[in-house]
């Protein structure tokens, strides 16, 4: 029998406390300020439960295991004093929502903006993020993707060290702050995707093993023992995380979940955890009458993730496509070490633009094995593409953004490639104006030995790359502060131009200017020597057609786009002077070649 875990309070101040702990012989409930602990009852499946009266929201509690270990609730909804201290009772359903008319945005129409609450604003809170929503609306963003906010140790962390999956980080504003942000987003027409981590737990404050077999020795992950999704007792571990996902979608009105590194969710059950999750969300949708998206991060290039149930798939809505990022990044920067050694040609970008995967059953020299399978037949909105994200920026040694690695013209070219591509585009916070503060890796652990291990591990991560310099101290507060957005782009003419450029591209995309790249076959012409890529939408000579020329070289080139007597009209050119470029591209092309300036792109329609 599966039970709902956590502390659930009713309107009459009666509260049910339930925890899964199959190994302890005795579990007690300790209420802060009470003289005696309360003995809890158990069932045959290892759930312990107690119902108490006169419990109010804000009441703090712990569990006592076998009379010795005092531990916070693994399903705590709030940890006001950090990961080692008391859990707090939260009233789940009494928030005054104002989004009853909200309907989720179609995935194919999303313009996603990934942000980290702690560094998105100077204050680093959910409330402060609300003040920046009008900026995002003016940009054309209609979806935000929030990096993990489950309670982590200290006040500085990317969020992937969370140890209380049900508790919104208290220093960000806790559960009420998150609900307020989601509510305002919906009122303004912005969908909210939350990044969740179901492949590992952080090291500090992780007391799950004191309660039961949440982890297994059967597999290992880059972060240690794997979460137990298929060993003995796994039914209840799976339920713990399934309940968590449904909580975010139902109680917090989150529109979708980004599932971190699903290749590390190791499960050989007849029904994979991800499929069970999707089926649970399917049932929730019948209740909420809203679409809830599940988007996977995966390095497997396996379409099983997004294929329907009847094809043996998990039926997730979309997945990140790293191949697209790597293909653009290597051409833009010239970097070719580490995993970038598998990319770098114009042909790679052409393939990524056509079908998302470069590695579709191809051999990877870096991984020394064959990677992926064919994405043929998948819809373009099933792939999320970017030119920057938290991983690809923050996992650089010095956290450099693209604005610190390439020229202004190349920034515009990279943005153009992403926003005309058929996939769902995702921007990383600050990208739209060329933020030049880095985004670094930062933590605020309390255990000195753990801090030393993190510092050592961080240095080890860069062994495949040729980056020079010293690794910034992840524990230092200055590392965190350096990573905050500056928001002073209006004082910088180039940053303002870049912002307006992004706005124009996004506006054109939302109005269907690039739709033919989605709705018809894509053809490409490749010139490796001159670093040129020509992209055509499919269709016969009598149909409307798009033609884009991308020049990744430092020289200008003339490119034949049209056959005789075909007339092409310019939609967008990154080299135009209105975007601080060197010269305007011609408005009309007929019986002549297209002039494409260095590190630029131009898009025409027939």
- The per-residue pLDDT for range 3-58, each reduced to its tens digit, is 999 999 999 999 999 999 999 999 999 999 999 999 999 999 999 999 999 999 99
Q: Which residues are catalytic?
A: 260, 297
Q: Assess whether 459 and 583 both reside in one domain.
A: no
In a domain, 103, yes or no: no
Structural domain ending residue among the three candidates 299, 331, 358: 299
Specify binding-site residues for substrate: 258-263, 322-326, 390-395
Q: Assess whether 474 and 555 both reside in one domain.
A: no
The rounded percent of the chain whose pLDDT value lies above 70 is 99
- The per-residue pLDDT for range 102-134, each reduced to its tens digit, is 999 999 999 999 999 999 999 999 999 999 999
Tell me the DSSP string of 450-466. HHHHHHHHHHHTTTTS-
Q: Assess whether 400 and 309 both reside in one domain.
A: yes
In a domain, 93, yes or no: no
pLDDT given at position 1: 78
Query: Residue 389 CB: number of other CB atoms within 10 A?
Result: 23
* Residue 318 banded pLDDT, cuts 50, 70, 90: very high
pLDDT given at position 542: 56
CB 179 within 8 A of CB 226: no
Structural domain ending residue among the three candidates 265, 299, 333: 299
CATH number at residue 337: 3.20.20.80
Q: Single out the residue of 417, 528, 526, 399 nearest to residue 469, CA to CA.
A: 399
**36 Ramachandran zone, left/alpha/beta (phi>0; psi -120 to 50):** beta
Q: Is it the case that residue 149 has pLDDT exceeding 90?
A: yes
Token pair of 242 as six digits: 């399934």
- The per-residue pLDDT for range 413-454, each reduced to its tens digit, is 999 999 999 999 999 999 999 999 999 999 999 989 899 988
Number of folded domains that form the chain: 4
* Residue 465 banded pLDDT, cuts 50, 70, 90: confident
pLDDT given at position 145: 98
Alpha carbon distance 190, 260 (integer Å):
22
Alpha carbon distance 310, 332 (integer Å):
40
Q: Is it the case that residue 223 has pLDDT exceeding 90?
A: no
Query: Residue 199 CB: number of other CB atoms within 10 A?
Result: 21
Q: Assess whether 208 and 186 both reside in one domain.
A: no
In a domain, 133, yes or no: yes
In a domain, 98, yes or no: no
Give the single-character DSSP code of 580: T
Q: Using DSSP bridges, classify how beta strands 362-364 and 369-371 pair: parallel, antiparallel or unpaired.
A: antiparallel
Please give the average per-residue pLDDT across 523-537, as a whole number. Answer: 96
Q: Assess whether 408 and 546 both reside in one domain.
A: no
CATH number at residue 562: 2.60.40.1180
* Residue 539 banded pLDDT, cuts 50, 70, 90: low
Question: How many residues does the structure list for the chain?
Answer: 606
**474 Ramachandran zone, left/alpha/beta (phi>0; psi -120 to 50):** alpha
- CA distances to 89, 417, 561 from 582, rounded to whole Å, are 61, 19, 21
Give the single-character DSSP code of 233: T
pTM of the model: 0.96
Averaged pLDDT score across all residues of the chain: 95
In a domain, 465, yes or no: yes
In a domain, 513, yes or no: no
The rounded percent of the chain whose pLDDT value lies above 90 is 90
Angle at which helices 408-420 and 493-510 cross, to 10°: 10
Please give the average per-residue pLDDT across 254-276, as a whole number. Answer: 97
Specify binding-site residues: 258-263, 322-326, 390-395
Q: Assess whether 493 and 587 both reside in one domain.
A: no
Q: What angle do CA 269, 274, 278 make, to 5 degrees?
A: 125
Please give the average per-residue pLDDT across 551-558, as a whole number. Answer: 97
Structural domain ending residue among the three candidates 455, 473, 507: 507
Q: Is it the case that residue 469 has pLDDT exceeding 90?
A: no
Q: Assess whether 179 and 253 both reside in one domain.
A: no
Among 66-80, 220-234, 343-357, the least confident range: 220-234
Q: Assess whether 371 and 490 both reside in one domain.
A: yes
3-class secondary-structure state, position 345:
coil
pLDDT given at position 227: 97
pLDDT given at position 458: 83
CATH number at residue 50: 2.60.40.10
Q: Assess whether 315 and 453 both reside in one domain.
A: yes
Residue 561: is it exposed, middle or buried by C-beta count within 10 angstroms (0-12/13-18/19+)?
buried
| CA within 13 Å, CB half, 490 | 2
Give the single-character DSSP code of 397: T
List all residues 6 or more positions away from 444 whose beta carbon is below 8 Å from its beta carbon. Answer: 153, 154, 155, 156, 157, 475, 477, 480
Tell me the DSSP string of 427-493. EETTGGGT--S--------S-HHHHHHHHHHHHHTTTTS---SPPP-TT-HHHHHHTS----GGG-H
Q: Assess whether 226 and 364 both reside in one domain.
A: no
* Residue 520 banded pLDDT, cuts 50, 70, 90: confident
In a domain, 514, yes or no: no
Q: Assess whether 361 and 394 both reside in one domain.
A: yes
Q: Assess whether 315 and 362 both reside in one domain.
A: yes
pLDDT given at position 566: 81
- The per-residue pLDDT for range 490-512, each reduced to its tens digit, is 999 999 999 999 999 999 999 99
- Sign of dihedral through CA atoms 370, 373, 374, 378? negative
Q: Is it the case that residue 176 has pLDDT exceeding 80?
A: yes
In a domain, 182, yes or no: yes
Which of 566 and 403 is assigned the larger pLDDT? 403
Domain holding 595, by residue range, is: 520-605
């Amino acid at each position: 029998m599966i039970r709902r875990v956590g502390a659930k309070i009713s309107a009459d101040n009666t509260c049910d406390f339930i925890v899964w702990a199959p190994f302890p012989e005795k579990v007690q409930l300790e209420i802060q300020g009470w003289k005696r602990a309360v003995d809890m009852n158990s069932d045959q499946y290892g759930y312990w439960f107690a119902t108490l009266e006169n419990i109010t929201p804000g009441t703090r509690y712990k569990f006592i295991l076998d009379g010795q270990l005092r531990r916070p609730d693994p399903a705590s909804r709030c940890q006001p004093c950090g990961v080692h201290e008391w859990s707090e009772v939260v009233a789940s359903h009494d928030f005054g929502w104002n989004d009853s008319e909200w309907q989720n945005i179609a995935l194919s129409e999303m313009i996603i903006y990934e942000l980290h609450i702690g560094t998105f604003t100077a204050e680093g809170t959910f409330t402060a993020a609300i003040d920046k929503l009008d900026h995002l609306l003016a940009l054309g963003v209609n979806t935000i993707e929030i990096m993990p906010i489950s309670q982590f140790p200290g006040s500085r962390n990317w969020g992937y060290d969370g140890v209380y999956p049900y508790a919104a980080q208290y220093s960000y504003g806790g559960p009420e702050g998150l609900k307020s942000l989601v509510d305002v987003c919906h009122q303004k027409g912005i969908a909210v995707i939350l990044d969740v981590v179901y492949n590992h737990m952080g090291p500090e404050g992780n007391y799950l093993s004191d309660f039961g077999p949440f982890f297994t020795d059967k597999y290992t992950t880059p972060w240690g023992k794997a979460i137990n999704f298929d060993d003995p007792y796994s039914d209840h571990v799976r339920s713990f995380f399934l309940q968590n996902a449904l909580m975010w979608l139902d109680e917090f009105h989150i529109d979708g979940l980004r599932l971190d590194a699903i290749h590390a969710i190791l499960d050989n059950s007849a029904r994979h955890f991800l499929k069970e999750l999707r089926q649970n969300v399917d049932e929730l949708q019948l209740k909420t009458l809203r679409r809830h998206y599940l988007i996977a991060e995966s390095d497997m290039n396996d379409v099983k993730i997004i294929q329907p149930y009847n094809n043996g798939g998990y039926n997730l809505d979309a997945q990140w496509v790293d191949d697209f990022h790597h293909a653009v990044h290597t051409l833009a920067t010239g970097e070719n070490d580490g995993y970038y050694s598998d990319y770098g040609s114009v042909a790679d970008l052409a393939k990524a633009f056509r079908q998302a995967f470069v590695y579709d059953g191809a051999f990877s020299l870096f991984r020394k094995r064959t990677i992926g399978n064919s994405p043929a037949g998948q819809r373009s909105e099933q792939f999320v593409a970017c030119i920057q994200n938290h991983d690809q920026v923050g996992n650089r040694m010095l956290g450099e953004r693209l604005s610190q690695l390439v020229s202004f013209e190349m920034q515009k070219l990279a943005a153009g490639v992403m926003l005309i591509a058929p996939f769902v585009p995702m921007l990383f916070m600050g990208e739209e104006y060329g933020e030049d503060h880095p985004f670094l890796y930062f933590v605020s652990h309390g255990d000195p030995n753990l801090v030393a291990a993190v510092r050592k591990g961080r240095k080890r991560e860069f062994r495949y790359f040729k980056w020079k310099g010293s690794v910034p101290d992840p524990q230092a507060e200055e590392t965190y502060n350096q990573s905050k957005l500056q928001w002073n782009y209006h004082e910088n003419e180039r940053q303002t131009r870049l912002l307006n450029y992004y706005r124009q591209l996004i506006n054109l995309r939302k109005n269907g200017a690039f739709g033919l790249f989605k709705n018809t076959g894509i053809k490409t012409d490749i010139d490796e020597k001159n670093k040129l890529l020509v992209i055509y939408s499919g269709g016969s000579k009598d149909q409307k057609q798009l033609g884009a020329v991308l020049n990744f070289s430092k020289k200008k080139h003339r490119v034949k786009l049209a056959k005789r007597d075909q007339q092409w009209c310019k939609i967008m050119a990154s080299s135009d002077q209105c975007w601080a470029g060197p010269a305007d591209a011609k408005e009309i092309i007929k019986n002549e070649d297209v002039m494409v300036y260095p590190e630029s792109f131009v898009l025409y329609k027939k």
